[in-house]
Amino acid sequence: MPWTMNDYPASFQSLDRIIRKKALEIANKMIQEGYDESRAIPIAISQAKEWKKNATEKEIEDFTAHGSVTPSKDSSSARPELMDHAQHVVKHEEGWAVQTEKAKRASEIKETKQEAIDRAKEIASNKGTSVVIHSKDGNIQDVLKPQ
């Protein structure tokens, strides 16, 4: 169950409201992608503080008004039935995509194949699933089993 602005870990209590909201958004997405809470919380807090430090007033206003702390329901990782499926690395028009098997779209696009493989390995490791690496033409090049 995702955290909300009314129900969140104690470590978020002392955060400025906008930082808390951004941290909750990040942490919820990380949990959704398979991260352990003990890793997601400090990373989310750090990233939220960094985001606020670098955000424009307009970005902060927009996020305050329209940002959501819960991950999108249409993203592949929001579908629990996909949690046991392999991560695929496939060629994409913008680089290389990391996509959960049977998902409708990629969860991430990376510039290089190696970046996509590294991210797919991280997600697969958190979920205990395989990584299926495809060549440019779409054929399976390699399958990395969970460790």
Q: What is the pLDDT along the chain (147 residues), one digit of tens a residue?
A: 688 888 898 999 999 999 999 999 888 888 887 788 888 899 999 999 988 888 888 888 888 887 777 765 444 444 444 557 889 999 999 999 999 888 778 888 999 999 999 999 988 887 788 999 999 999 999 999 877
d(CA 88, CA 98): 6
Express each pLDDT in 78-109 by its tens digit: 444 455 788 999 999 999 999 988 877 888 89
pTM of the predicted protein model: 0.50
Inter-residue contact 22 to 63 (CB < 8 Å): yes
CB atoms within 10 A of CB 18: 17
The single residue listed with the structure tokens 């951004």 is 22
Inter-residue contact 138 to 120 (CB < 8 Å): no
